[in-house]
Amino acid sequence: MKESKNLFDRISEQVSRGLAQNTSRRGLFGLLGAGIVGMSSIPLLPVARAAGNGQPQASDLQESGDDQSCDYWRYCSIDGFLCTCCGGSVNTCPPGTEMSPITWIGTCKNPEDGKSYIVSYNDCCGKSGCGNCLCNTNEGDRPMYVPAKSNDINWCLGTQSSVYHCSTAIVVGMAFE
Amino acid sequence: MPGVDNPQRAHVNYILNCQGCHGPEGSGSADGDVPRMKDFLGNFLNVEGGREFLIRVPGVASAPLSDTAIAELLNWTLHTQSPDQIPEDFLPYNEADVIQWRRKTLGDVAHERERLIVRMR
């Protein structure tokens, strides 16, 4: 028992001395600082918020095509300016705009795997209309008197500003076949 | 989940018909005047008139879904978003409930909702 304690003591002494002689405290703080800054810069993508629970994430998708073109599969039911042409992406709003939490939802078939997915067309709000890449595809769109299924409505609801800028197309799940 | 034959189908029906306004977790939107269902919806089952109210609200009554699918969707939403508020003697919604109440139009949904919430206190 005594011997194993001595052995343990010797090992810890060697490790401590080694650390003290070969590393600097500033180096450790630098490393920790870099870690903290690095972690906080990983963005919280809105796709995770919109996707909710138990449904496939956009990252699992096999996709092809140009997401700045109205023909891109996710835009089968869109009515507005593409955020991909306005400084944002298919899942994120351009800087200086706010994503509407209230949104128009449709389904589109992905030609890559032939499956239908549920797409949430969250509008980005707070700047005047972007004006680039206007698309009006409207698959499954219903008249204004069925408001929950109509994409002619300004869906900038629940945002600080109701001024429409552009539309995203976030995959939030797989349709039931 | 009682009264839910296919949870996946119920979830997809929720996303397509409810989530756009109520959000993925049923949190609603105070700024957008969308009622919160999370940790609240089940309270309606504890007051007189509340059970049928959940069928008669415009979003449910006019959803493009069959009576059976509506019953399943209501049971799924209650159990997923507000399990702690469901009374112990709750009987899951069924097709007959939806047939009975869906067609009875609510004249003033906001007023009726307020009346039921007063009863919860």
Residue ranges per structural domain of chain B: 7-120
- pTM reported for the whole predicted model: 0.75
Residues 34-73 of B with CB under 8 A from A: 34, 59, 62, 64
Amino acid at B21: C
Residue pLDDT, tens place only, A138-174: 888 888 888 778 888 889 999 999 999 999 999 999 9
User: Which residues, other chains included, contact A76 with Cβ-Cβ below 8 Å and sequence gap of 6+?
Assistant: A106, A108, A109, A119, A137, A139, A140
Order across the sheet with A98-99: list the strands: A98-99, A123-125, A164-167
Q: Is the per-residue pLDDT at A75 higher than 70?
A: yes
Which of B15, B22, B65 best probes binding to A when mutated, by most A CB atoms within 10 angstroms? B15
**A113 catalytic residue (yes or no):** no
Identify the three-state secondary structure at position B13: helix
State the Cα–Cα distance between residues B74 and B97, nearest whole angstrom: 11
The predicted complex's ipTM stands at 0.80
State the greatest distance between any 2 C-alpha atoms of chain B, in Å, as a whole number: 36
Mean pLDDT of A72-89: 96
User: Which residues, other chains included, contact A132 with Cβ-Cβ below 8 Å and sequence gap of 6+?
Assistant: A81, A82, A85, A86, A166
Residue pLDDT, tens place only, B76-108: 999 999 999 999 999 999 999 999 999 999 989
Mean pLDDT of A28-39: 64
Q: Are A118 and B16 a contacting pair at CB < 8 A?
A: yes
Short-list B41, B102, B48, B44, CA closest to B71: B102
Tracing tokens 């995203």 back to the chain, one arrives at: A168
CATH number for region B7-120 = 1.10.760.10
State the Cα–Cα distance between residues A71 and A82, nearest whole angstrom: 12
DSSP B32: T
